[in-house]
Amino acid sequence: MAKRIFPLCESFVLTGQFVESRSQFKNGLVNHAFAASLRALLLDYEAMVAQLEHQFRLGRLSIQGLWFYCQPMLGSMQAVSAVIHKASANNFTGSAVLNLLQSQAKAMAGDNTVRSLLEKMTQCASNAYLGILE
């Protein structure tokens, strides 16, 4: 079971590192906006962990329950991690980040939740880009 849940933890750490490294204005407004949307996802993750911890302390959380509640977040975090890996490896900024987010959203056509999340992140990051163009 730990092997199934570990990628979620790994994605959380990777996302946190990306947010810390890209949330400064020197990395561009698009990366700053993307990091802000990632920070919101991390807050959702932390809320999920707090709820699971509460259930555990009450004695209501089984291993199967833990896996059940982690699965939706796992898909989202892995998709975001893929975007982060590509953006970091290629040092993407500006429209390259937007193009990457959009292409990943299209690739996730079968998973509405993840696609919707990536589209929302694209929208947040594109608002910063459009502000530059005005």
- pLDDT tens for each residue of 22-77: 988 888 999 999 999 999 999 999 999 999 999 999 999 999 999 999 999 999 99
- pLDDT tens for each residue of 69-115: 999 999 999 999 999 999 999 999 999 999 999 999 999 988 999 99
Return the domain boundaries, the chain.
8-19+27-133
Global model pTM greater than 0.75: yes
Q: How many Cα atoms within 13 Å fall on the side-chain side of residue 71?
A: 8
SS3 (DSSP) at 1? coil
Q: Rounded to 5, what percent of the chain is helix, strand, coil?
A: 85, 0, 15
SS3 (DSSP) at 77? helix
Rounded CA separation 78/84 (Å): 10
